[in-house]
Homo-oligomer: A and B are copies of this chain.
Amino acid sequence: MAPTPRLSIERVVESAIGVTDSDGFDGLSVSAVASDLAVAPSALYTYCDGVDGLRHLVAIAATRNLTVDLQRAATGIAGGPALVAMSDAYRAFAARHPGQFAATQRPPKRDDGIEAANRSLLEVFALVYLGMGHSSEQSHLAARSTRSALHGFLALEHATGTTDDHDREYRHLLETLQRGLA
């Protein structure tokens, strides 16, 4: 008889994201996901290539999740206000999902999936700059600069510790970017 599969790649990714959210990207392990899904650890090897495969799947899913949030934040807004909204969304994502945020930065291996996910993320920024009258090339450069700067700030903010409120510094960075890209 053909047994109905209890597992699927979707369920594995869903569980892996859940583990990442609760235990951090470093807490992601074959055992933790297997335990969450109530299967033996070795059962996961049918759906992903070990712990590296797990990290890989989470890196792609996390980048997509961030992209969705950014896109949603900029929907119906243009120009400077859109960039402010996206920056706030970026920071909120890092605060609410530190594990996923870390995953967006740790793609262990080169892969089409991750590169495509990163391109999609950059396109959201680029579209805003296009709407502000920049050329296609300038928009892509501006998008990369903006993403890099925001990402770096948030990465260091979470590394240093989130005791202080760095809102003023974050706004300074935003304003610097907007002046520099005007």
**In the assembled complex, how far is the CB of residue A103 from the closest CB belonging to chain B, in whole angstroms?**
10
Q: Count residues on chain A whose CB falls below 8 Å from chain B CBs.
A: 36
Q: Kindly list chain B residues whose C-beta atoms are within 8 Å of the C-beta of A179.
A: 179-181
Binds B, one of A30-38, A41-49, A148-156: A148-156
A144 to B174 Cα, complex, angstroms: 12
SS class, residues of chain A in contact with chain B: helix
A156 to B105 Cα, complex, angstroms: 6
Contact for A141 among B149, B151, B156, B169, CB less than 8 A: B169
**In the assembled complex, how far is the CB of residue A66 from the closest CB belonging to chain B, in whole angstroms?**
13
Judge whether A120 is part of the interface by a CB distance below 8 angstroms. Answer: no
Judge whether A115 is part of the interface by a CB distance below 8 angstroms. Answer: yes
Pair B145/A176 contact, Cβ less than 8 Å? yes
Q: Kindly list chain B residues whose C-beta atoms are within 8 Å of the C-beta of A172.
A: 141-142, 144-145
Contact for A178 among B107, B150, B159, B180, CB less than 8 A: B180
**In the assembled complex, how far is the CB of residue A180 from the closest CB belonging to chain B, in whole angstroms?**
3
Pair B169/A176 contact, Cβ less than 8 Å? no
Listed from nearest, the 5 A-B pairs whose CB atoms lie closest are: A152-B152, A180-B180, A176-B180, A148-B153, A149-B149
